[in-house]
Every structure is written in structure tokens, then in C-alpha cells.
């Protein structure tokens, strides 16, 4: 039995404090409490205005005339505060025995559990009032580590994360979240109805990652984009938005090995355009964030099969063409190759000067800052009878198709190395993965630039290079 009553507490605390204490108890602010056996030492935690609950401690003693005397501390740094009063009042209410003649004062375990859950839900809502809660974010990414051939349908996957929204378009640290959380009977409070529907479309798998494919996932992607919380590769990447359907075509193209691949091409394509198959072809413009279906005029079931076509090697091109000839009115046919030739070619060095923009990121979370930096670069490649290869390409020979003839061209490694060394002698080095290269795409890291130092002005060195060295090259 506790050594104090409600009347004792009302005498100990002024009306202003007592009113606040009653409000806290009504809101379920008492998180937990520990009462010693004699009831004279009580410790508890009470929710207040700050995020972390206040820790309160009370010692109870007998005063003169039988009055109760309190000695209290609280992490709000105010003695005998409303948090102390709320804790003591909450202890009284928890320990109050039901009246013997009140048959409704005893409830079964199921109802007791429900009451406890309701109280917890109310406390959670109160603690989140006025605070920016977590959000579900959908991160679209390649389902394989790398891809080739612009226009080739690439598999994609969605990764589910949660993060706290710091301000418009800026989120805090990402935490992977299993898709099954979206379809739980009692999902987390930050899961919206749209998220729950998307979770069911994704199958509620117990993993944060799921590969997309098929017509149903086209609808799933549309819903993810509609939330405004769908990004490419990371939450700091491009935000995706739905755009109009665009006309496209299916064509066979030769790759660097002389193989033919069936590609889906748009009228306007660039290196940052991704084509994926979701029942039919979809485009994802990772530069602008625009996404949408591609209209090819081919029935969806057939176009889905065509987008999964394997590469046709040179030796099999004619045979595959013959087997598909009966369907030439519905599908494109691979080009036949007449013969294979091995030729020696003196390469022509190509130096492409360009100034891409690299986004430099400093800090993280609410301290995150982004700055677009224009970086002059020189890209070195070699032309072998129309076949262009970059200096860092590791192939020793090139397969190149000209007029339906497959040319096998050996690389001139000695000549190429001489050209690289010539650029090195001028002070040009690959950008690499350090410095600005940390923020650059992989294809830019192999381009050449002047190293920065304290004495030289890099911009001046580029002017001198363009004025003196470029004409000599």
C-alpha cells in the first residue's frame, strides 16, 4: 500500500502544477515506473515537450503532524514539477483496487490487451505531434551490377528504405525496410495507404529488394512514382516522375564483338537513358527523371519475348534469320554476315574535349550541400577502320562489321601506349576515383585532366593546352 493518497498530493502541489499533471496522466504520458517495496522510493519516466521522456525520482517521508513530505528530482531541472506530480498520480491510479461490488471493474485478458494497445497508440501520436516522421522511399536501381548497349532492355529492381524527411527533397539516414512491413496487419504509423497497396502489389516479400518485371509491375512502378518518393539509384539521386508514352522501334544492332542484339530505340536517346521491360518496353531518363512506356506497335506478349532475345553470334546470324523469315511481317530480322576477315589497321587517335558538370556533395543529413562543378576533360579513343575503342578498353582485338563483313582487327597496344604517355608528358592524367573523381560517373574517371596544385591555375593550363598543344596533335 502506498504511503500517500490523492488528498495528500493535492495539498503538496499548487493548482497550476496539479492541472498539468492530470493532463499528462490523461494523455498516457507515464512511460514506466518502479516502486520500491515500502512504497517510499519511486522512479519513473514521463513524456513531456521534448523528444526524450523526463526521468523523475521521489523519496517519501513522514512529516510533522502525520503529513507526507516529498523530496524529488527531475531531468527538467525543476523540483516538485508537473512530471513528478504526474508520476505519483499515475502510480495511485495503477494501484487503485476495484470496488468489491463493481462487477465491471474486472476485465478479461483480451480486453486488457486492447486497452494497453490503445494507450500506447495515443502516446505514440502525442510524441509525434509537431515532429517530422519517417517516410517510405522507393529506390529504383539496376538489377545487375552493370549493363551495356544503349537501348538493350535492362532488368531493374526496387529497394525499399525509410528515412526521416528533414526538409523538402532532403532526407536523413536511410534504413532498409522489408516490404513485408507494408502489408502487416498493424503497419508502422509512417506507412500510408498508398504504401500498403504498393506493398501488396510487390507481394509482401520479407526482403527490402524486389526485381520488377511483367505488366503488373508496370502498374506498381506507376504507383511508386505517383507518391513522389521514387528515386533512381539513391534518395540523393534523380526523383522519378511519370511522363507521356513515346514512340519507339525494335532494331538489331551490332556490338563490339560482331554479335547482334535486339534493341528498343527512341528517336531521342542519350547515354543516361535506360530501357527496361515491364510487360512492354519502358524508358527511364535518369537525367531528367522522366519515365513512361514505349509504343512499338508490336503486341505486348510478343514484344516482351523479343526484349529477352539473346545475342546472336556472327556465325549464327544467317541461320537465325532463315528460321525467323516466316514472321518477317511481325518482327525485325538480324542481318546476315557474308564472311569473316582479319585485317591490320593503323589506328587514328581521337581526343574529345568536353566540359561535363559533376555534382559535388559535402556533408550529410541537414548539413548536406551540393555544388555543380564544371570540369574540363579530355577523352582519348582510337579509331580502327570505323571501330572506336577507348584507351582503357582491355580487348586485344576488335570485331567490327562493315557492309555485312565481320572484320577482326588486332589492337596496336604499343602505339596506344605512346599516345597515353604523350598526354602524360603534357601534364594530363586520368581523373581517377579520388578528389572530384569520387563524385564522377565511371565513364568520366578514365578521362584526362590536369592535376590541381597550389601554384598553377588549372584553367590557365587548359587555355595554353588548347592554344599550343591541340594544333600540334
DSSP helix/strand/coil, 30: strand
Task: Examine the domain organization and report whether 274 and 200 are in the same domain.
Answer: yes
Q: Which of 333, 332, 385, 356 is nearest to 449 (CA)?
A: 356
Q: E strands within 255-347?
A: 260-266, 273-278, 280-285, 290-295, 339-342
- Provide the grid cell at 161: 528504405
Q: Report yes or no on 117 lying in a domain.
A: no
- What integer pLDDT is reported at residue 94 of this predicted model? 80
Look at residue 98 and tell me whether its pLDDT is greater than 60.
Answer: no
pLDDT score of 100 more than 90: no
Based on the fold, state whether residues 396 and 293 are members of the same structural domain. Answer: no
| Residue 62 main-chain phi, psi, to 5 deg | -90, 130
Residues 403 and 452 reside in one and the same domain? yes
User: Which residues, in sequence order, are bridge partners of residue 398?
Assistant: 409
The confidence band for 130, taking pLDDT boundaries of 50, 70 and 90, is very low
Residue 250 has pLDDT above 80, yes or no: yes
Query: 177 is in which domain, residue-wise?
Result: 134-327
Distance CA 398, CA 385 (A): 10
Quote the CA–CA distance of 71 and 350 in Å, as a whole number.
84
What's the whole-number mean pLDDT along residues 314-332? 88
Say yes or no to pLDDT of 271 above 50.
Answer: yes
Is 90 exceeded by the pLDDT of residue 257? no
Q: Residues in the chain, how many? A: 473
Residue 26 is assigned to a structural domain of this protein: yes
Q: Which range has the worst mean pLDDT, 69-83, 306-320, 452-466? A: 452-466
One domain for residues 366 and 303: no
Partners of 284 in the β-ladder: 274, 291
CB 336 within 8 A of CB 258: no
Question: Total domain count for the chain?
Answer: 3
Kindly state the average pLDDT of the residues 456-469.
81
- Last-in-domain residue among 327, 349, 365: 327
| CA dist., res. 348 & res. 325, Å (int) | 40
Cβ pair 391, 382 in contact under 8 A: yes
Tell me, yes or no, whether 387 and 465 share the same domain: yes
Q: What is the pLDDT of residue 220?
A: 95
**For the packed helices 193-201 and 215-226, what is the interaxial angle rounded to 10 degrees?**
160
* CATH number, residue 34: 3.30.310
Please report, for residues 36, 289, 297, the alpha-carbon distance to residue 277 in angstroms, rounded to integers and kept in the order given: 66, 17, 15
The mean of the pLDDT values for the chain is 85
Assess if residue 124 is contained within a domain: no
Q: What angle do CA 65, 66, 70 make, to 5 degrees?
A: 110
pLDDT given for residue 147 in this prediction: 52
In angstroms, the Cα distances linking 285 to 6, 166, 342, 392, 439 are 68, 27, 39, 27, 20
pLDDT tens profile 428-451: 999 998 888 888 888 899 999 998
Terminal Cα distance for the chain, rounded? 97
Q: Indicate the range of 95-109, 323-337, 392-406 predicted with least confidence.
A: 95-109
Beta strands 246-254 and 290-295 are parallel
154 and 297, same domain (yes or no): yes
| Same domain, residue pair 184 and 240 | yes
Structural element, H or E, at residue 203: none
SS3 361: strand
pTM, entire model: 0.57
Q: Which helix (H) or strand (E) holds 133?
A: none
Please, which residues have CB within 8 angstroms of residue 107's CB and are 6 or more apart in sequence?
A: 115
Amino acid at each position: 500500500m502506498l504511503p500517500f493518497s490523492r488528498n495528500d498530493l493535492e495539498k503538496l502541489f499548487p493548482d497550476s502544477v496539479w492541472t498539468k499533471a492530470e493532463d499528462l496522466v490523461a494523455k498516457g504520458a507515464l512511460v514506466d515506473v518502479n516502486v520500491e517495496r515500502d512504497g517510499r522510493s519511486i522512479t519513473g519516466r514521463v513524456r513531456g515537450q521534448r523528444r526524450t521522456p523526463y526521468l523523475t525520482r521521489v523519496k517519501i517521508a513522514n512529516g510533522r503532524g502525520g503529513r507526507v513530505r516529498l523530496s524529488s528530482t527531475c531531468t527538467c531541472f525543476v523540483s516538485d514539477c508537473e512530471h513528478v506530480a504526474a508520476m505519483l498520480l499515475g502510480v495511485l491510479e495503477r494501484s487503485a483496487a476495484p470496488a468489491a461490488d463493481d462487477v465491471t471493474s474486472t476485465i478479461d485478458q483480451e480486453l486488457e490487451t486492447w486497452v494497453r494497445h490503445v494507450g500506447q497508440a495515443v502516446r505514440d501520436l502525442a510524441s509525434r505531434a509537431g515532429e517530422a516522421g519517417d517516410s517510405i522511399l522507393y529506390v529504383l536501381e539496376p538489377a545487375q551490377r552493370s549493363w551495356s548497349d544503349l537501348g538493350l532492355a535492362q532488368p531493374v529492381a526496387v529497394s525499399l528504405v525509410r528515412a526521416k524527411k528533414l526538409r523538402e527533397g532532403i532526407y536523413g539516414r536511410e534504413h532498409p525496410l522489408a516490404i513485408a512491413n507494408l502489408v502487416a496487419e498493424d503497419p508502422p504509423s509512417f506507412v500510408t495507404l498508398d504504401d500498403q497497396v504498393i506493398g501488396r502489389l510487390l507481394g509482401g516479400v520479407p526482403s527490402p529488394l524486389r526485381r520488377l518485371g511483367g505488366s503488373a509491375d508496370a502498374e506498381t512502378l506507376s504507383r511508386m512514382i505517383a507518391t513522389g518518393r521514387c528515386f533512381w539509384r539513391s534518395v540523393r539521386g534523380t526523383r522519378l516522375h511519370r511522363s507521356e508514352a513515346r514512340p519507339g522501334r525494335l532494331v538489331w544492332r551490332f556490338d563490339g564483338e560482331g554479335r547482334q542484339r535486339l534493341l528498343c530505340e527512341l528517336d531521342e536517346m542519350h547515354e543516361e537513358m535506360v530501357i527496361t521491360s515491364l510487360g512492354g518496353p519502358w524508358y527511364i531518363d535518369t537525367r531528367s527523371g522522366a519515365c513512361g512506356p514505349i509504343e512499338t506497335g508490336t503486341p505486348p506478349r510478343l514484344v516482351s519475348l523479343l526484349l529477352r532475345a539473346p545475342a546472336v553470334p556472327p556465325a549464327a546470324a544467317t541461320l537465325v534469320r532463315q528460321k525467323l523469315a516466316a514472321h518477317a511481317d511481325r518482327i525485325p530480322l538480324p542481318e546476315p554476315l557474308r564472311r569473316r576477315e582479319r585485317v591490320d589497321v593503323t589506328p587514328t587517335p581521337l581526343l574529345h574535349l568536353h566540359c561535363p558538370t559533376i555534382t559535388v556533395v559535402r556533408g550529410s543529413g541537414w548539413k548536406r550541400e551540393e555544388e555543380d562543378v564544371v570540369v574540363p576533360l579530355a577523352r582519348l579513343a582510337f579509331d580502327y577502320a570505323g571501330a572506336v575503342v577507348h584507351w582503357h578498353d582491355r580487348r586485344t582485338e576488335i570485331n567490327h562489321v562493315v557492309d555485312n563483313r565481320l572484320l577482326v582487327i588486332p589492337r596496336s597496344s604499343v602505339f596506344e601506349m605512346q599516345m597515353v604517355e604523350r598526354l602524360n608528358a603534357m601534364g594530363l592524367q586520368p581523373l581517377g576515383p579520388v578528389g572530384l573523381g569520387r563524385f564522377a560517373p565511371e565513364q568520366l574517371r578514365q578521362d584526362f585532366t590536369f592535376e590541381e596544385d597550389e601554384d598553377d591555375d588549372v584553367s590557365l593550363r587548359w587555355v595554353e593546352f588548347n592554344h599550343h598543344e591541340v594544333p600540334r596533335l
